[in-house]
Every structure is written in structure tokens, then in C-alpha cells.
A and B are shown apart, each in its own frame.
Chain A
Amino acid sequence: MIVDVQNLKKKYKQQWVLNGVDVAITEPQIVALVGPNGSGKTTLLNCMTNLLAFDEGDVKLLGKKHTDSSIFYDVSYLQDNRILYDHLTGFDHLKFICNVQHIPLSRIKDVTDRIGMSSYVKKRVRNYSLGMKQHLLLAMVIINEPKLLLLDEPLNGLDPTSAVSVRKILLELYKEGTTIILSSHNLDEIDRLTHTVYFVKDGVLLKESLKDVASNQYYVSVSDLEKAQFVLDEASVSYDVTETGEIVFEDINLSLQSFINHMNAHNITLEKVDNQMIGAEKRYQQLFKGVDHHETVSL
């Protein structure tokens, strides 16, 4: 068992932040934790890594109790950049981890090259930008080639190019056999990384496979919009029309092939077809409709 969390309960100021959380991961995969600010995502990760005490429940990572510090030879936890020491260099941080975890120092070059931070790894952290700090944090958690990687908002502060490279590294690690649990607000990124999502709602986790809830949204330009609308109305298909005259529908209501068949039957030509995946975001909106993302429990 890679992750075994049973009935985890954590109370904060008389309010249950986590109220019976169960997580069981038996084989390497990428899992996302999704929920509004203060829903308990970071609290769950902190409880799992023994940074926070919890009121009830049991946590085992890679078969060991979470209180056993030796788990960190194989478990890495990417936290926010406040954990960095401003007056030390990135190299100092990485060297320390190598020393503590008996990793050859040559690995520092491998990791920094892979992440693309070799040019500034020997500069003091106080001179780093937000993105550079995020790169260093990533280097610090992958340098030991962990079996389990916990990431708290790993894409914070990254520009789109860096986000793509980080996503690529995470996917490579996953392919190499690392289990990744990440919490993120970036639902688009989650869609690109994983289909296994734990939505954190009311202190419990709702496991979803995005394959079950994901859909494609199509944006289609046709030769005769009025006629196409008439055809779709006749077929009782749910759709919208954008201001620019594109027909918008989701494949859970109508497959693209059915749409094409309808249009062909009435000699309507399809001029342009775009599609967009909607998965985590859609489910998120369904689950947290009306939840104020900023007015939540402070941890």
C-alpha cells in the first residue's frame, strides 16, 4: 500500500476540517486534491507528513507509520516557498538534502539540469523570483527520486513555459513509478495531469474519475446557422449559440458524429470545429456551487 489513510479526523477551533478522510492508493498514479481555499487540502498533506497532529484516524505511507521520520527517504513533500532560507543558495539546500539522505552530490547537477535551474542554483535564494523558488522546491523534492511525492500547489508562481516543463517532469516521474498527490487550484492543469481527483468537501474526500465526468465542449461554425438551430431544436438537443454565431454543445448531450450526421442530412456544411475538454472544473462547479472560495476556515 502506497498511501493508507483511514478515517482521518482533524478538528480546528471546534470545527471539523477533516471529518473521516479515507485514501487508499495501491499502485503508482497521479492524484489531485481539489477544493476551495481552507477546505483542508494542505491540512490533509500536513497530517499525512506528521507536521500536524490529528484527532482520530491512522496514516501509513509506504507501509510505515507517518510518525516514522525514515519515510522521508522515499516520501517528499513540496511545501510553500516559506521553507526556504533566504541567505543560503539553492545549492546549499540541495547539498543538505543529499547529505542527510546519502545521495551523491553529482545528483544535484542532474536535477538542476533537468529542471533548468543550473544557471542560478549557486545564487542566494533571496535573489530568486517566485518561479525560481518554485523550481528549487521542485528540485528539493525530486532529488531523492521519491516513491511518493506530495505537492502542495506545485504550479504556484510559474509562468506558462515553466508550468509546461514542471508538468512534463511530473508525468516523467509518474512514468518512472512515482505516486504523486498534488493539491492545486489550477483545474486546467489537473485535467492535463490526471483523471483521479479527490474533491475535498465538508471535511471528506469525494473520489472522482474525471473520465466519468469529463466532456468535450464543441464550438462549431456552420454555413446556415438558422437552419442548423431548427434542426437541433427538432432533435431536442441542448446547445448554445455564441455572440460570434458558433453553436456550442457538449458531447454528453450529443456526439460530434451525431451532430455531423444531422447537419449532413440537411445539407448544412461545417465550416470550423473547435473543442475544449471540460472535466475537473465542471465537476468543481457542480460540487462547490455557491461556495465562496475566499470565505473559508482559516488553518
Chain B
Amino acid sequence: MKLFPFEFKKMVLSRKFSVLLLIIVACVIALFIRNVAFQPVITENALKDIDDQLQTSDMLLRVHQYKLEEDPENEVEKELKDMLLANINLLNNIKNAVSTDQWQERLIQENALLKGIATYNEAGGEFPLDTSEIVRQYALNEKLLDEHIKPESSTYSMAFPNFMKQVLDFLFHLGAIIMMVILIGDLMTAELEDHSAKFLLTQPLKRRHIITSKFWTAISAYITVLVVLFLTITIIGSIFGNEGTFQYPILIEKNGELAFMTIIEYITFGAIGVSALMITVISLYLFYSLYLKQTVSTLFALLGTLLLGYVATTFISWRFFAWLNPFQYIIPREPLLFQNGTAWYQGLPILFLLSVIFYGLAVRKIKTLRIG
């Protein structure tokens, strides 16, 4: 434990670490400012979507009228036309509700419309809205109504929990890996390249302690970055954003059916998956760095392993493989949102096992490490 404080100090006092934290804070602030600036766009986009649907409905209506002119007794066309008129009526109601605070009324109308479109399509209509999309949107609206939760924009939300999810989605989409590579990219190799590791190797320290302290330094640096990230989101989101709720539902697929996960669950499970992957990445980095002894080749090997592993395992659909696949948390949204015959936590044991193996190999290697 004597080495760890020294290593950690080396890390946090480095220019790279300060710059990384500043960039993270700046990015979070910039994202929030963007969300604030784009608030009017939410309504504009909603109105545009409705106008597009109205335009589509008008076009379909003309088709039905044309067919009825040719065959006035066509009952199916009559029925389709009536359904479409009802949908157009609903679309106009929704359009009027978009600019108001009556979100419950709007959701009820939206669901009535979705039901109307589904019925219309089942009756032979060709409204360009996929059934699965209809079902998903309908279920989400129902859930929001049941829980009395105001719907939030998925891209420009100012609600604190939704904003937090939005930021963490960047982290869950390779952001954590990029951040970790910047953090630990030269943790060991730079000291091997510039020979500063000789300082540690000529102290009365057990060599395995050097690896252990580097390992914990990397984990501590990762936790520090996460804490700064969460603090920034919390300060900005809670002071300048809307209250929102961490119970906000996120639609997932579970064993072929639609289910829900709350934002707090999504964030917690995602953070656990990503963090488990980061621990393995640290161990793998230490293992590679001691064998390759160069920053560039070590990073190339590390990123190559992750990329190839992810690409290769995407093609394996065997369900049991979820227990053996350490690459699934490279983009953890996938195992979180699609739990068809699998569970989000199934990749954790293999990551833990691999971390122990790579850490053990690194400890073994440093015992015979020589620096000329």
C-alpha cells in the first residue's frame, strides 16, 4: 500500500488526467446547453412528424377515393377510408395538443391513433408504420400513463435522470473504452520506454506490488473520472434541468416480449457491465504492456483484441454463449435492451475470470522483467 498513493499521485497530477477531466466536464456542459437550445425543436419535430403523417394520410385518402370512384360499392375501400378519416381527425387533435401541457391527453390520442393505424393496416391499408414500432410506442405510452410520468424527448431532454442517461449512453457506446485507453495508455509502457520503471525496480518492493499498485491506480483513476462525471451531471442537471424521475421507463425485449426497465436500473446495470469490462481491460493492458513494452504496440494489441472479439462474437447467436462472451459489454446497450433468453449479467463471471487470469500473467511476467 506504500506504492499505491505514489502511483495514484503520479496519475492525478499528470497533465493528461487534468485535461481529460476538463474535457469531460466541458462535454457534459456543452451537451446540456445543446439540449436547452434545442427545446423549441422538440415541438417543431413533433409537428413535422404529424404533418408528414397527415400528408401520407391525405395521399392514401385520395387513393381510396379514386378506387371508390371506380367501384362505389367496394365495402373494404369504404371501411379503409372511414378508418383513415378517423386517424386524420386524431392526428389533428394531437397536433393541437403538442404545444400544450396536456401530455396525458396527447398520449391517449397518440395511442388511439396507433391503434387506428394498426387496425387500418390489418384491414388492408398501407400506412407506412411498422407494426413492431406501433406496438413498442403504444406500450411505452401506456406505461407512461400508468405511472403518471411525463414523456421526455430522447435526444434533447432537460429532465435530470434522462439527461444522465443521455450522457451515460456516450459512456456505454465505446466512451468508457476510449477514456480508459487515454487514462492508462502509458501507465506501464511509458515507464518501460523512458526507463523510469528502473526507479521502482531498484526499491525494496516486491515486483508483484508494482503491478498491483498500477492495477488499483487505474481503477481508482476510472472511479475518479466517473465521480467527476456524475457530479457534473448532477450539479448541472439538478440546478438547471427539470426534476424528472429515475423511474422513467425504458422499453426492452425480454424473452421475446416487451418489458420495461427504469432509468435507474439501466444506469446501474450499464455501469456495472462497463466497469467489469474496464477491469478486464486494465488487466489485459498490464499483461500486454509487460510483454510488448511499447505504448503503440500495446494499445494496438488491446484495441485490436476488443474490436476483433466484438466483431467475431456478434455472429454467435447461441444463447449459452452469453455466459462465455466477455465482449458483450463493449456496447452494453445490446445486452441490456435485448434480453431474449439471456440476462444482462451473464457476461460478468467471464470478465471476472479473465481479469484474474490476465492479472496473474502480468504478475508472473514482472517477476522476470528486465530493463536494459
Proximity bits, B203-222, A CB within 8 Å = 1, else 0? 11111000000000000000
Tell me which residues across on chain B come within 8 A of A46, comparing CB atoms: 371-372
* B62-70, B191-199, B305-313 - interface stretch: B191-199
A51 touches B6 (CB 8 A): no
Of the stretches A30-38, A91-99, A115-123, the one at the interface is A91-99
Complex alpha-carbon distance, A247 and B212, angstroms: 68
Interface centre among A83, A84, A92, A101 (most CB of B within 10 A): A83
Question: In this assembly, does A49 line the interface, its C-beta being within 8 Å of a C-beta of chain B?
Answer: yes
Indicate the member of B196, B202, B370 with the most A CB atoms within 10 Å: B202
A17 vs chain B, min Cβ distance (A): 10
Chain A residues with CB under 8 A of B198: 51, 79, 83
Hey, what's the 0/1 contact readout for A61-96 against B, CB within 8 Å counting as 1?
A: 000000001111100110110111101100010001
Residue of chain B at shortest CB distance from A85: B10
Does A235 have its Cβ within 8 Å of any Cβ on chain B? no
> Are A100 and B203 in touch, CB under 8 angstroms?
yes
Query: Shortest distance in angstroms between A182's beta carbon and chain B's nearest beta carbon?
Result: 16
Residues of A within 8 A of B205 (CB): 69, 100
Report how many residues on chain B are interfacial, defined by Cβ distance under 8 Å: 25
Q: How far is the CA of A80 from the CA of B196 in the complex (A)?
A: 9
Best-surrounded residue of A70, A96, A299 (most CB of chain B within 10 A): A96
Complex Cα spacing A77 to B203, Å: 9
Chain A contacts for B5, CB-based, 8 A: 99
Q: Mark B1-36, 1 if CB is under 8 A from A, else 0.
A: 011011001100111000000000000000000000
Q: Select which of A69, A71, A96 is within 8 A of B6 by beta carbon.
A: A96
Q: Which residue of chain A has its CB nearest to the CB of B15? A: A87
Give Cα distance in the complex from A51 to B370, angstroms: 5
Interchain CA distance A244-B23 in the complex, whole Å: 71
**Smallest CB–CB gap between A95 and chain B, Å?**
8
- B290 shortest CB reach to chain A, Å: 15
B194 with A51: CB separation less than 8 A: no
B204 & A100 in contact (Cβ 8 Å cutoff):
yes
Choose from B3, B9, B206, B370 the contact partner of A69 (Cβ within 8 Å): B206
> Nearest-CB distance from A101 to chain B (Å)?
6
Instruction: Collect the chain A residues with CB atoms within 8 Å of residue B196's CB.
Output: 82-85
A77 and B371 alpha carbons, distance in the complex (Å): 14
Asked if B50 lies at the interface with its beta carbon under 8 angstroms from chain A, I say no
Question: Contact mask B172-201 → A, CB, 8 Å, 1/0?
Answer: 000000000000000000000011101101
Closest to A141 in B: B202
Question: Which one of A43, A71, A79 lies within 8 Å of B372 (CB-CB)?
Answer: A43
A50/B15 in contact, CB under 8 A: no
Residues of A contacting B203 in the complex (Cβ-Cβ under 8 angstroms): 69, 72, 97, 100-101
Write the chain A residue with the least CB distance to B202.
A77
A7 shortest CB reach to chain B, Å: 19
**Chain B residues near A69 (CB, 8 Å)?**
203-207
Given A51-B198, A82-B195, A83-B199, do A73 and B204 touch, yes or no (CB 8 Å)?
Answer: yes
**Min distance, Cβ A123 to any Cβ of chain B, angstroms:** 13
Bound Cα distance A8, B13 (Å): 41
Give chain B residues whose Cβ lies under 8 Å from the Cβ of A1: none
Q: Write out the residue numbers on chain A whose beta carbons fall within 8 Å of the beta carbon of B15.
A: 87
Distance to closest chain A CB from B219 (angstroms): 20
Q: A53 within 8 Å of B by Cβ?
A: yes
Is A99 in contact with B14, judged by CB distance below 8 angstroms? Answer: no
A83 to B199, CA, bound (A): 6
Residues of A within 8 A of B13 (CB): 87-88
Indicate which residue in A53, A71, A80, A85 contacts B370 across the interface (CB closer than 8 Å): A53
Nearest CB on B from A58, distance (A): 17
Q: Does A287 contact B (CB under 8 A)?
A: no
B14 contacts A87, C-beta separation under 8 Å: yes
Q: Tell me the minimal C-beta distance from A196 to chain B in angstroms.
A: 24
CB neighbours (8 Å) of A92 from chain B are 6, 9
Given A82-B196, A83-B196, A85-B196; A51-B3 close (CB under 8 Å): no
Which chain A residues border B206 with CB–CB below 8 Å? 69
Among residues of B, the one whose C-beta sits closest to the C-beta of A140 is: B199
Are A99 and B204 in contact, CB atoms less than 8 angstroms apart? no
Alpha-carbon separation in the docked complex, A87 to B186 (Å)? 15
Q: Does A105 make an interface contact (CB < 8 A)?
A: no
> A299 → chain B, closest Cβ, in Å?
6
Residues of B within 8 A of A71 (CB): 204
Q: Which residue of A lies closest to B17 (CB)?
A: A87
In the assembled complex, the CB of B208 is this many whole angstroms from the nearest CB of chain A, namely 10
A164 at the interface (CB under 8 A from B): no
Name which of B14, B194, B199, B201 has the most chain A CB atoms within 10 A of its CB. Answer: B199
Q: Which of A156-179 contact B (CB under 8 A)?
A: none
Cβ of A70 and Cβ of B204 under 8 Å apart? yes
Which B-chain residue is minimally distant from A126 (CB atoms)? B15
> Which residue, of A76, A100, A101, has the highest number of chain B Cβ atoms within 10 A?
A100
Which of chain B's residues have a CB closer than 8 A to the CB of A99?
2, 5-6
Answer whether A51 and B10 are a contact pair too, CB < 8 Å, given A43-B372, A83-B195: no
Which residues of chain A from 109 to 151 have any CB-CB distance to chain B below 8 Å in the complex?
none
Q: Does any Cβ of B come within 8 Å of A52's Cβ?
A: yes
A sample of 13 more A-B contacts (CB under 8 A), given A43-B372, A79-B195, A100-B205, is A50-B370, A51-B202, A52-B371, A53-B370, A79-B199, A87-B10, A88-B9, A88-B10, A97-B203, A99-B2, A99-B6, A100-B203, A101-B204
* Residue ranges of B at the interface with A (Cβ–Cβ < 8 Å): 2-3, 5-6, 9-10, 13-15, 194-196, 198-199, 201-207, 368, 370-372
Binding site for B on A (CB under 8 A): 43, 46, 49-53, 69-73, 76-77, 79-80, 82-85, 87-88, 92, 96-97, 99-101, 299
Q: List 16 A-B contacts (CB under 8 A).
A: A51-B372, A52-B370, A70-B204, A72-B202, A72-B204, A73-B204, A76-B202, A79-B199, A82-B194, A82-B196, A83-B199, A84-B196, A84-B199, A87-B10, A88-B9, A99-B6
Shortest 6 CB-CB distances between A and B: which pairs?
A83-B199, A72-B204, A96-B6, A53-B370, A99-B2, A82-B195
